[in-house]
Structure 1
Amino acid sequence: MSEKHLSSQFDTDLTDICTAVLQMGGLVEAQVQSAVRALETFDVAFADQVIAAETRVNQQEIEIDAHCSHIIARRQPTARDLRLLMAISKSITNLERAGDEAYKIAKRSKRIIDEVGRSTIEFSEIRVSAALAVDMLRNALDAFARLDAVAAAAIVRDDRALDQEFRGFVRKLMSYMMENPRLISVCLDYLFVAKAIERIGDHAKNIAEFTIYIVKGTDVRHIDQDSLEHEANKQ
C-alpha cells in the first residue's frame, strides 16, 4: 500500500490494516448481496444471515479504528502514510454504514415477506440498482487496494447511474400507489429498500474519493465530476 520504510514492522502494520479493511469490505459486500437476495427469492433465511452478521461488521470497524490510532501514536506518520491512515478511518465508517443499510434492507425484506407472502411488484430497477451498488463497492475496494486514483474517479461517475435507477423506481412506485391504494404500504417498504441501496452507492463513492485523497493529497469531496477526474488523472 505504501513505500518501504526503515522499520519493517511499520510496513507490516500498514499491510495488516489494509488487509483488514478489504476483509471488512468483503463482508459488507456479501451482506448487501444476501439482503437483496432475500427480497428476490422471498426467503427469510438470507435476511437472517445479514442480521446475524451485523455485529461482526461493527466489531471490525472498532478494531480497525483502534489499530489506526495505535499506528499513529507509535509511528507518528507523515505525508502519504498519514493520509492513508486518515482515509482508512473514514472509509471503514462508510463500510459500517453500508453494512447498516444492508441490515435495514434485510429487516424490511422480512417485513415485506411477512406482509404479502409473494412478490406483488415488479422491481427490476432494484435488481439493477443493487448490482450497480455492489459493483461500485467492489470496485472502490479494488481501487483502494491498488491505490488507483483513475479507477476511483470512474466509481464516482457510476454514482450518477445509480441515482438515475433510484429516481426511475420512485416514479414506478408512485404509479403503483395511484393505481392501487392497497399497495401503498408495501410500496413504501420497497421505497425504503431502494433508498438504502442508493445510500450504499453513496458510501462506495465516498471510499473512492478517499482513495484519490491518499494518492493525490487533494480532498475531492464536494467538487464537480470534471474537476475530480482532472485531479485523479493529474501526473
Structure 2
Amino acid sequence: MPNDKIGGHYSQAYDDELQLAVARLLQMAALAQQQLRDAMTAFTAADLALAQQVKQSDRQVNSFEVDIDEHCLDILARRQPAATDLRLVLAILKSVNDVERIGDMAKRIAKALLRELPDSRPSPAQLNTLNQMGQDVLQMFERAIAAFEQMDAKAALSVLRDEKAIDSSYDSILQSSLASMMQDVQQIAVSLQVSQVAKSLERVGDHSRNICEQAIFLSKGSHVAHLSDAELQQIVDRKRD
C-alpha cells in the first residue's frame, strides 16, 4: 500500500520512484525478519536443514541491498531531491545497511548450529532463555520497521527505550555462560555457543535502534544518534520542521 506521507510532486513518476524505494526496503525487512525467525527455530530445534536454508537465503537479502542502493542512487542523480525527499532517500540508504546486517546476524545464528559439536547442545533452560530473547528482538525489529514506514517518531522512541531490556537479557546470558564455564570445563563449548547466539541477537537490537533513529530523522529532520533519552524526547515532542 502506498505511503500517504510520500508524494505530492508535479511528477507522478517521481512519487512512484520514492514509493518503490520504501516498498523494497519493507520487502527486504520482511525477508530478514523471516530469516531471523527461521534461524531461531532452527537453533532451538536443532534443525540442520532449516539452518542451511537460512544461510543460503542471505544472498537474497544481499541482492535487495544492491538493488535498493542502485535505485536510491539513481533518484539522487536524476531527481536531485531536497528537504524531506532527500531525508527519505538518505534514511533508506542507511536503513538498508542495517537490515542487511540483521540478515547477517540471522546467518551467524544458523552457522552456530551448523558448527555445533556432537553432544554440545544447550540445556532446555538455556534454549528457552535464548528463544525468549529472540522473540523480544524480533518484535523490536518489526516495530522499528513499522515506525520507519509510518515516519512515526513517537513509536520509534518507544522502541528505542525497549532496547535496554535487550541489553539486560544479553548481560544476563553472558554472566550465566561465564559462570557455567568456570564451574565445569565441559560446558565451555556450549557456553561459548550460547554467548555467540545471544551476541548476534543483541546486535539485531542495535541495528533496530539505528532504524528507529532514521525514523526520527525522517519525521523531525534531526540526527539523534548518541542523544540522551531526555534529548530524544524533546526532539520527538517538537513540531516537524
State the TM-score, normalized to the length of structure 1: 0.96
Aligned position for 2:226: 222
Aligned position for 1:52: 56
- Contact preservation (8 Å) 2:121, 2:190: no
Letter paired with 2:125: E
Unpaired stretches in structure 1, ≥5 consecutive residues: none
Q: Which structure 2 residues correspond to residues 36-185 of structure 1 after superposition, within 5 A?
A: 36-112=40-116, 114-116=117-119, 118-120=121-123, 122-123=125-126, 124-185=128-189
Which of 10, 33, 36 pairs up with 1:32?
A: 36
Residue 194 of structure 2 is aligned to residue 190 of structure 1: yes
Letter paired with 2:91: A
Letter paired with 1:191: S
How many residues matched?
Answer: 234
Q: Cα gap change, 1:121/1:191 in structure 2, threshold over 3 Å: closer, same or farther?
A: farther
- Contact preservation (8 Å) 2:180, 2:191: yes
Q: Distance in 2 between matches of 1:42 and 1:117?
A: 11
Aligned position for 2:8: 4
Q: Which runs of 4 or more aligned residues in structure 1 lie more than 2 Å from their structure 2 counterparts after TM superposition? A: 114-122
Cα RMSD (Å) = 1.2
After TM superposition, the structure 1 stretch with the greater mean CA deviation from structure 2, 198-207 or 123-132, is 123-132
Q: Residue 116 of structure 1: CA displacement?
A: 2.3
SS of the counterpart of 2:118? helix
Q: Distance in 1 between matches of 2:123 and 2:145?
A: 35
Letter paired with 1:83: R
Q: Distance in 2 between matches of 1:143 and 1:109?
A: 32
Unpaired stretches in structure 2, ≥5 consecutive residues: none
Q: Residue 229 of structure 1: CA displacement?
A: 2.2
